[in-house]
Amino acid sequence: MSAFPIRLTVSQVAARLPGSRGARRIHPATVIRWILIGCPARNGERVKLPALRVGTRWLIDEVELNAFFAALAANSIIASESPPARVSLDYERAAKAIAVLKAKGV
């Protein structure tokens, strides 16, 4: 067993993940975006992919990649238990609008 963790390049991470809309894999720019900007979670927080900058390359630890996806999954489970505040506000506004329309006879 090596003393160094297994680190993947951006291209290697992109090659491991399936793409969408017929693409065979995700684009490396997507992985860079996860590193620099993060991925929005359902609870409004941004989860960033931890990476190490070595010269002109980014290196991602396999363990940290799995933790990144676990953090996104955990946030979506928490968010699914209760609806976001925005959704409940929209329902309240819609109910008020319906009540006003009914009062006006429309």
For the chain, strand residue ranges (E) read 7-9, 39-40, 46-47, 52-54, 57-61
pLDDT given for residue 84 in this prediction: 56
Q: Can you give the pLDDT at residue 83?
A: 55
Contact 13, 25 (CB under 8 A): no
d(CA 78, CA 85): 13
Name residues whose C-beta falls within 8 Å of residue 5's C-beta, 6 or more positions apart in sequence: 61, 62, 63
Q: How far apart are CA 69 and CA 39, in angstroms?
A: 10
Give 38-84 pLDDT, tens digit per residue.
988 766 788 999 999 999 999 999 999 998 988 888 755 444 555 55
pTM of the model: 0.64
